[in-house]
Amino acid sequence: FYRAAASPPSSNFLLLGPSGAGKTAFTTLLESKSAPATKKLHSTHTSQTSTLITVTLPPTVPTASNRYRSVNDPSLKEASKNPVQYRLRDTPGHGKLRASQGIAELQAMATSTDTKTKLRGVIFMVDTAALVDETILRDTATYLHDVLLVLQQRALGKGKSSTKRAAEIPVLVAANKQDLFTALPPGSVREKLEAEIDRIRKSKTKGLMDASMDSAALDAEEEDVLGDDDAQGVFGFKLLEQVGIKVDVTGGAVKGDQQEEFGSGVRRWEEWVGMCL
């Protein structure tokens, strides 16, 4: 009777980010950690479809509902008998597949009222060794901008029509590949992304103004600007907290997870997931 079938996990997380960031490597690692007996090979191929996996949160990772679990806590034994599970959807990061997959998936999950597909959080993975390349930085920031815009539109749209606020969907920017000596530290990853998103939304605002001859058309597009409407100030992730979107930038390494020397591997991302549960 201790083997009673666990209810299917209803907490969903969406894994987004540009191609080569390490999303599938992360997914594969979590899968093998959840079921060590069925060790799978790390796929290093560019993904073309998304996959959904069920992950077991390590019992030593605290959850929001049980944040004071400690190693000596007897309830830990309970936790390993009754593990916390969640579902993670890995998406392809290639530019041509984003609209039809990552963004489409985000829109569907973010607006879903079905608890089975309800979105608890978004993990946006970046390759921190690749961001020194201007083209990759721009591509990464453009994708993140579009993701945050979907979440902002959701937050604003729901807030207007009903008194019940839409449940917040936090974003984790997983600053991956911290094991590489060329990797940028999470602090500068944050700065670079914020500065680049600022440029993107400023040129977008300018484009909107140039394109619309009458102010009515401009009004209609106002919700399409990330952060404050007029894009006067400098963009920072903090601006999004006004609409209830919390963005964390946290370093880690999929490659280093088994070794102690590369920071904490994926542990801090697992802790972020735990705080959403």
CB of 47 or CB of 101, closer to Mg ion: 47
Which residues, 65 to 124, sit near ligand GTP by CB under 6 A?
A: 92-94
Question: Using the rule CB under 6 A, is 25 a contact of ligand GTP?
Answer: yes
Question: Using the rule CB under 6 A, is 251 a contact of ligand GTP?
Answer: no
Tell me, by CB under 5 A, how many residues bind Mg ion: 3
The binder of 254, among Mg ion, ligand GTP, none, by C-beta within 5 to 8 A per type, is ligand GTP
Output 144-149 pairs: Cβ under 8 A, ≥24 positions apart.
144/173, 144/193, 144/197, 145/197, 145/200, 145/201, 145/226, 146/98, 146/103, 147/16, 147/102, 147/103, 147/106, 147/122, 147/171, 148/197, 148/226, 148/240, 148/245, 148/247, 149/224, 149/226
Question: Using the rule CB under 6 A, is 253 a contact of ligand GTP?
Answer: yes
CB of 94 or CB of 202, closer to ligand GTP: 94
Residues 132-171, mask of contacts with ligand GTP (x by CB under 6 A): ----------------------------------------
With CB under 6 A as the contact rule, the residue among 9, 12, 13, 19 that binds ligand GTP is 19
CB of 221 or CB of 271, closer to ligand GTP: 271
Question: Using the rule CB under 6 A, is 24 a contact of ligand GTP?
Answer: yes
With CB under 6 A as the contact rule, the residue among 9, 13, 16, 47 that binds ligand GTP is 47
Contacts of 158 (CB under 8 A, 6+ apart): 165, 166
Tell me, by CB under 6 A, how many residues bind ligand GTP: 21
Distance CA 192, CA 138 (A): 10
Minimum Å gap between C-beta 126 and Mg ion is 14
Minimum Å gap between C-beta 145 and ligand GTP is 18
- Other beta carbons within 10 angstroms of residue 238's beta carbon come to 11
Q: What are phi and psi of 15, to 5 degrees?
A: -105, 115
The binder of 253, among Mg ion, ligand GTP, none, by C-beta within 5 to 8 A per type, is ligand GTP
Distance CA 211, CA 224 (A): 14
Please answer whether residues 46 and 19 qualify as being in contact, where contact means their C-beta atoms are separated by less than 8 angstroms: yes
Residue with structure tokens 């972020």?
272
From the list 40-48, 104-112, 155-163, 203-211, the region that binds ligand GTP by CB under 6 A is 40-48
CB of 31 or CB of 198, closer to ligand GTP: 31
Residue with structure tokens 């984003």?
98
CB of 47 or CB of 205, closer to ligand GTP: 47
3-state DSSP of 97-153: HHHHHHHHHHHHHHHCCCCCCCEEEEEEEEECCCCCCHHHHHHHHHHHHHHHHHHHH
Q: How many helices, marked H, and strands, marked E, lie in the chain?
A: 7, 6
- Positions touching ligand GTP (CB under 6 A) are 17, 19-25, 44, 46-47, 92-94, 176-177, 179-180, 253-255
Q: Which residues form the interface with Mg ion (CB under 5 A)?
A: 23-24, 47
